[in-house]
Structure 1
Amino acid sequence: MVGLSIGEKRFIQGGIAQDLRSDGRKRLTYRPINVETGVIPQANGSARVKMGATDVIASVKAELGRPSLSQPDKGKVAIYVDCSPTAAPMFEGRGGEVLSTELSAALQRCLLGGKSGAGAGIDLSSLSVVEGKVCWDLYIDGLVVSSDGNLLDALGAAIKAALSNTGIPKVNVAANVSSNEQPEVEISDEEFLQFDTSGVPVIVTLTKVGRHYIVDATSEEESQMSSAVSVSINRQGRICGLTKRGGAGLDPSVILDMISVAKYASERLINKLDSGDSCCGSS
């Protein structure tokens, strides 16, 4: 938890009410964003994203596996987040484990939709090699290196950038294999298929402080929130997932307004990630 004096709390809350935050940003302005891809050579794809003092890394590892019986025509994706104990004092001991589990579950909901696959931002059918027999399993690992708020959005951006950097080896399947046999496959060392990230969303978290909500909240701002809504939205404006934290309830009309604001913010964030620009500020 962030320890703030009464004066500091009032300063943060008053500034947000007047659309002038402690670091000079407006309510819907991001901190400078820096994106670097290919940071882990051993992975199929990787990226490092810095939002202000928040620093995260995402890596993607692809392995051949067998599809599940319930979804024989799709591959599988697993997401796991680790919070480095050195990233923040609250990550030491059990605190880091609890947050890692929460972030992993939230990313799973925002990027992969429900259990049925409805709303999935990652096209699992593109990971199928031989229906019912062979598919690609993607293992996505996130690491929080340094924490100063807005971890979910930063991890979502890093995963999207890592997936755009991911090359899936081309697979040649042996012909004339009976329907009962497991086919022989040969993985190419030279030919790679680029992973399609056109439908992969970004996550925009709107943090409610007082009567207003802000994007890209710092740790100090998050300590003053009543609630926060995270919306994952892709380039087509399609909502792939939504998650809320904080005890305060929200009126449905407020949530609809937050989704509208999140769509506006997501367009600029996606453009910045796709163009490789290192800053995402706006008035």
Structure 2
Amino acid sequence: MVGLSVGEKHFIQGGVAQDLRCDGRKRLTYRPIYLETGVIPQANGSARVRMGATEVIASVKAELGRPTPLQPDKGKVSIYVDCSPTAEPAFEGRGGDELSTELSTALQCCLLGGKSGAGAGIDLSSLIVVEGKICWDLYIDGLVVSSDGNLLDALGAAIKAALSNTGIPKVNVAASASGDEQPEVDVSDEEFLQFDTSGIPVIVTLTKIGRHYVVDATSEEESQMSSAVSISVNRKGHICGLTKRGGAGLDPSIILDMVSVAKHVSEQLLEKLDSEIAAAEADEGES
């Protein structure tokens, strides 16, 4: 937890009210974003994202599995976040476990949509190999290396970058299998299919401090929030998911305004991420 004096609390709140934050940013300005891809060689795809002093890593592992009977035409994706105890003393013991669960659930909501698959930013039907029999299971792991606020947005950006870095092996299916038999498959070691990330949204968290809200809040700013709403927005401006934390209730009109602000901010964030991912992959290709 961030320990602040009364004077420091007033300074943060007063700055937000006057659109001038402690680090010189305006309310709707992000910290500089640094991004690297291919940081974990053993994974099918990986990325590291740094926003200020917040640093996270995401990795994607693809394994062949069997689709569920309820969704025979879709693959499966699971997201799990681990908060390293070295990132913050509060993450030691139960504190880290609770935050890990909260972040994992929020990411599932923002990136995978509802249980029916509606609103999913990841196209699960693209993960099917043989309908009803074989699919790809994607295991997405996030690790919080260093924490200084806005973990959800950083993890969302890292997952988007890791998926754009993911190569799924090409699978050749033997045509002989009939009925309920599992068909034989040959997984290529040389040919890989790139994952389509064009529909994957970015997450914009608006943190309410006093009467105003800010994006990319630091830990000190988060300690002064009444509530925070995280909205995932895709390239078409569609809302893919929404999650709220903090005890204070919000008037529906404020949430509608937050959604409109998040749509506007997401355009700049998507542009920034696209150029960072392209640059990171170019660097990786040269090395």
TM bracket (short chain): over 0.9
Amino acid across the alignment from 1:50: R
Instruction: Indicate the residue corresponding to 1:152 in structure 2.
Output: 152
Instruction: Indicate the residue corresponding to 2:116 in structure 1.
Output: 116
Amino acid across the alignment from 2:44: N
Distance 1:40 1:271 in 2: 25
Asked whether 1:54 is paired with 2:54, we answer: yes
Distance 1:13 1:38 in 2: 40
Sequence identity percentage: 85
Asked whether 1:234 is paired with 2:234, we answer: yes
Distance 2:212 2:197 in 1: 32
Deviations 1:138-197 (A, max 9, x none): 000000000000000000000000000000000000012212210000000111000000
Amino acid across the alignment from 2:134: V
Q: What does 1:105-184 correspond to in 2, within 5 Å?
A: 105-184=105-184
Q: 5+ residue gaps in structure 1?
A: 279-283
Distance 1:80 1:17 in 2: 36
Instruction: Indicate the residue corresponding to 2:284 in structure 1.
Output: none
Superposed structure 1 runs of 4+ greater than 3 Å apart: none
1:22: Cα distance to partner? 0.3
1:68: Cα distance to partner? 0.4
Distance 2:180 2:96 in 1: 46
1:114: Cα distance to partner? 1.0
Instruction: Indicate the residue corresponding to 2:269 in structure 1.
Output: 269
SS in 2 for 1:247: coil
SS in 1 for 2:36: strand
Distance 2:263 2:161 in 1: 19
1:248: Cα distance to partner? 0.8
Distance 2:37 2:130 in 1: 30
SS in 1 for 2:42: coil
SS in 2 for 1:109: helix
Amino acid across the alignment from 1:7: G
SS in 2 for 1:46: strand
Distance 2:266 2:41 in 1: 29
Instruction: Indicate the residue corresponding to 1:203 in structure 2.
Output: 203
Instruction: Indicate the residue corresponding to 1:73 in structure 2.
Output: 73
Q: 5+ residue gaps in structure 2?
A: 280-287
Deviations 1:116-138 (A, max 9, x none): 11111100000000000000000
Instruction: Indicate the residue corresponding to 2:84 in structure 1.
Output: 84
SS in 2 for 1:41: coil
Distance 1:179 1:234 in 2: 40
Cα RMSD (Å) of the superposition?
0.9
SS in 1 for 2:49: strand
